[in-house]
Amino acid sequence: MANLSTTYMGLKLKNPIIASSSGLTGTLKDLVELEKSGVGAIVLKSIFEEEIISETEDNLNKMNASGFIYPETMEYFDFDEMEDPVANYLKLIADAKSEVSIPIIASVNCVTADKWPDFAKRIQSAGADGIELNIFALPTDMNRSATQNEALYFDIIERVSKATTLPIAIKISPYNSSLANFIKKLSETKVKAIVLFNRFYSPDFDVNNFEFTSTSVFSTPAEIALSLRWVAIMSGRIDTDLSASTGVHDGLGAIKQLLAGAQTVQVCSTLYRNGFAKVEDILKQTEEWMNEKGFNDIEQFRGKMSQVRTYNPAAFERVQFMKYFRDMDR
Ligand SMILES: Cc1cc2nc3c(=O)[nH]c(=O)nc-3n(C[C@H](O)[C@H](O)[C@H](O)COP(=O)(O)O)c2cc1C
């Protein structure tokens, strides 16, 4: 029997398939169902920095109004009584930890290092096993340099790692210049894992009515190419775990990402499209492939097709495109 167990950001997982952060990981009922489906870990739906900041400011206002003077008092609030996103989030973590036995990774969507990072302490107190920082500010400001944009990530990581001893993962987008250098620099911080990549809503045009529409919220299997390439390029070159996200819809996608060197593989769109039962399929396909190839555990093939280990490193770089284009000449 193939052994699918792995480690990820210092946590032990029974297999590398993670339910990535989405609307499917925001209620206790779904978390319980996801565990039953067989996933190795779950990343909770993100809480937004703005929600955290507005809760803190509301509480401070309430405390001031009622004569409280010690901010620590906030720790003693009865969150069950509070109908706000932060209280609900902390309760979700605590409930998940009592009902579910696989690792639960909290997720914060943030764009600044101000005001909110201390919240990581409360995520830890609520019982989360790790925290994933979903950082993204579209680099549209023509007056900000790449270094300035990157500084934001390093500031956030530093502030959060001072607030908590939880393992931290950082989920990034591919929209960074000098991507390999940026990923290397991230790996030299306290982060234990880097998730490649987040996927965003993109605007589209309705050319008849001159209106904006949106591209599909869900990925297609073809979209695996971008993360596959970058996982393969970076794995084996940095000590930080890489988690592959975007475009993994089946066992074949998961196998490819493991061959590229991913420590874990995150799935989202396929769960929306096919239901949680898809996880069993993915695990079965991976296990069957391992049995067929004679692999007893993941380490025997993880990174086998990464750029540093492949017989054909150029496969990941520009030469390959030149060959393709030449082949398409008539
Ligand atoms: C409806 C929906 C909600 C999502 N919400 C979040 C979120 O709260 N936080 C986050 O980091 N990513 C979120 N994502 C992104 C997914 O976690 C994932 O990175 C992305 O969908 C690409 O993976 P996929 O190709 O498996 O769908 C969301 C995706 C979808 C489709």
Closest residue by CA, ligand 1 atom 12: 21
Give the pLDDT confidence of 32-85 residue by residue, as tens digits.
Answer: 999 999 999 999 999 998 899 887 666 656 545 544 444 444 444 444 444 689
Q: Determine which of 1-15, 48-62, 110-124, 245-259 has the lowest per-residue pLDDT on average.
A: 48-62
Predicted confidence at residue 11, as pLDDT, reads 98
Out of 135, 243, 268, give the residue to mutate to test ligand 1, the one with the largest number of ligand atoms within 8 Å of its CB: 268
CATH top-level class for 6-327? alpha beta
Closest residue by CA, ligand 1 atom 30: 22
CA distances from 102 to 14, 164, 255, 258, 315 (A): 8, 21, 22, 20, 37
For 37-75, give the DSSP string. HT-SEEEPPPEEHHHHHHHHHHHHHHHHHTT---GGGGG
Pocket lining: 173 vs ligand 1, CB cutoff 6 Å: no
Pocket lining: 269 vs ligand 1, CB cutoff 6 Å: yes
Kindly report the pTM of this predicted structure.
0.91
Give the pLDDT confidence of 191-225 residue by residue, as tens digits.
Answer: 999 999 999 888 899 999 999 998 889 999 999 99
Give the pLDDT confidence of 224-278 residue by residue, as tens digits.
Answer: 999 999 999 999 999 999 999 999 999 999 999 999 999 999 999 999 999 999 9
How far, in Å, CA of 232 to CA of 261, rounded?
A: 6
